[in-house]
Structure 1
């Protein structure tokens, strides 16, 4: 079985406060884009075995895809194992939920392969134990995520547009960025305005409200991220913002020709640049 695992981008990302359980309370608008890993699943007698075409991907228990398969085996009393092959197209440690979407693909795919009969809601509930982005990735589409990211309110798909994704070589530590957040100095996104713009299919409204409270901290740690955002704006992006904790920055463009201009402007000094479309639609119950 082959399962598509699309990346996500954050149209907004707000951190409300640090919670008593050590996690952070967030509010963010997320949507899926057509940059996707492919996860190949095959039944085996027992155990979980992972391979990948990316030599940097961990193939042990630290891999979220491995954790997803293990969780299904334990929770559902499955007496079988799985061979998992991950064809990586989403950059790693990029703020695009690459690990979470692979885990979600394993949950959805093995549910079908093993004929477990779980609903997407049940798979999303399981996914929350693996990571806060996994429930959203189980469903895909467009949603407001609250709590740790697992409380989802679904939205219609945004208007069609082109997305240019640019990831610098150096990664960033999400843990370090959360540690450095200064709540008294934050400018919070207009989350409700973004929700209204998405519902109204108002691309201008979406582009003008792109915002991420993590940007200032990431810019301090990796100045190249700010430089990439500035270049995308100079080249004519309709809107641009960093996704997740970074370091990927994306730009929204109405026209393919403008997206290509941005792509060509960055490709000369960056390896990881992609032109994709927004997906925005939720997964169906079946693959």
Structure 2
């Protein structure tokens, strides 16, 4: 039997860093939203006690450096499973782009293996596994829109945004998240108003949501990737209602409620970068434990 799971990317609507914690991680306060640009995870049993992972792109690791592989190994260890497992990842989310592609692959693996082996994991059990892998994996377990605190592992669900289009533009460069946070530590920071963003989402004020988009990491990455400022300026000229870099970058996204403006943004940005997407926001996953 083969199990298929969708692994949506995420964007950060508001990302603030409070400071470095004693455990080496950073304390964050951020609002994230899942979008309908997704990898696909396929999992099935294999003979023998092993994990075999294949990716559709050659530069994604296929061993224990891969978050999806780590997720599978954690589940096998937790439940004492000696069966073999094959994972196949069809990548659509750009790699090292600030979109949590690897984290979402891990979360999708947890959901898929739960179904494959009928483990009956609760949401809290899935979260516990997710927290052992990476900071964004916990959000990606259920997706939707949420406030994330701590090092990103404490998740508080929020209502979905008003209907809108998300246009993503990924420059032909990648950045290392760890390096961006390290440089953030050594410079004055601009702090977005995350609490105001949460309030705007609750009252469904799209104009306020666009005005409050903010990312404390954006100035750091912009110094390294000049294309980000050019992309933002061009999106602004075309008429996007809200524009921001996602995560540690370098992907920039724009929000618009208008299909005609979405088409103009999509067409206008394709001349700037090879990777341009127009997608919708995703609703939260209905987990098996919630309706079994």
TM-score (norm 1): 0.97
CA displacement 1:31-61 (0-9 Å, x = unmatched): 1001111101111122111112212211111
Candidates 224, 227, 237, aligned match of 1:234 = 237
Partners of 1:238 and 1:183 in 2: CA distance: 32
Question: Counterpart of 1:185 in 2: which secondary structure?
Answer: coil
Candidates 137, 150, 161, aligned match of 1:134 = 137
CA displacement 1:171-222 (0-9 Å, x = unmatched): 1111111111157622211111100111111111110000000011101111
Question: Counterpart of 2:195 in 1: which secondary structure?
Answer: helix
- Range that drifts further, 224-233 or 13-22: 224-233
CA-atom RMSD in angstroms: 1.2
The aligned counterpart of 2:152 is 149
The aligned counterpart of 2:256 is 253
CA displacement 1:106-165 (0-9 Å, x = unmatched): 001001101111112211111100001001000111111001000111111111100000
Partners of 2:185 and 2:211 in 1: CA distance: 24
1:28 paired with 2:30, answer yes
Partners of 2:93 and 2:187 in 1: CA distance: 34
1:269 Cα deviation (Å)? 2.9
1:196 paired with 2:199, answer yes
Candidates 72, 78, 100, aligned match of 1:75 = 78
Question: Counterpart of 1:7 in 2: which secondary structure?
Answer: strand
Report runs of 4+ in structure 1 exceeding 3 Å deviation.
none
In the alignment, structure 1 segments of 5+ residues that lack a partner are: none
Partners of 1:39 and 1:125 in 2: CA distance: 21
The aligned counterpart of 2:180 is 177
The aligned counterpart of 1:210 is 213
* Counterparts of residues 27-176 of structure 1 (less than 5 Å): 27-45=29-47, 46-176=49-179
1:286 Cα deviation (Å)? 2.5
Partners of 1:122 and 1:28 in 2: CA distance: 23
- Range that drifts further, 50-59 or 67-76: 50-59
The aligned counterpart of 2:277 is 274
How many residues align? The count is 286
Partners of 2:29 and 2:259 in 1: CA distance: 31
* 2:41–2:90 CA contact under 8 A, matched in 1: yes
1:10 paired with 2:6, answer no
* 2:120–2:288 CA contact under 8 A, matched in 1: no
